[in-house]
Amino acid sequence: DSGVTQTPKHLITATGQRVTLRCSPRSGDLSVYWYQQSLDQGLQFLIQYYNGEERAKGNILERFSAQQFPDLHSELNLSSLELGDSALYFCASSTTTANYGYTFGSGTRLTVV
């Protein structure tokens, strides 16, 4: 267990629908990052939050949005889903006091049918 909790583990939904993915960072970590990993693809950075504030945006579609709450958990909202949104979505967290990288959760596998 990495300490980063993602729910749900699996999600199957239809095109056009909206889903919410949840992430609880490792205790003490203030930064949360969201990544998308499609089949046989690398890790595509979506967005970063630090202590409730958006810090960086990557290749995130306008149909996607995220937020980080006062208790530091984060949610990634995906709307108007398309078949191409099917992927693994990873959340990672990091601390500000050490630069040894991120701790990833086990991911949410989203299947859009």
Cα–Cα distance, 3 to 18 (Å, whole number): 27
Cα–Cα distance, 112 to 5 (Å, whole number): 22
Q: Which lies closer to other proteins via its Cβ, residue 7 or residue 15?
A: 7
Query: 23: part of which helix (H) or strand (E)?
Result: strand 19-24
Which residue, chain included where needed, has tokens 């056009």? 16
Q: Is 22 an interacting residue with respect to other proteins (CB under 8 A)?
A: no
Interface segment toward other proteins; rule CB under 8 A; list 17-25, 28-36, 61-69, 70-78: 28-36
The mark string for 33-62 relative to other proteins (x by CB under 8 A, - otherwise) is: x--------xx-x--x-x----xx------
Cβ neighbors of 88 (< 8 A, separation 6 or more) are 36, 37, 38, 107, 108, 109, 110
| Minimum distance of other proteins from residue 80's CB (angstroms) | 26
Count Cβ atoms below 10 Å from residue 74 Cβ, excluding itself: 25
Under rule CB under 8 A, which residues in 78-97 are in contact with other proteins?
Answer: 88, 90, 92, 94, 96
Which positions touch other proteins (CB under 8 A)? 2, 4, 30-31, 33, 42-43, 45, 48, 50, 55-56, 88, 90, 92, 94, 96, 99-107, 109
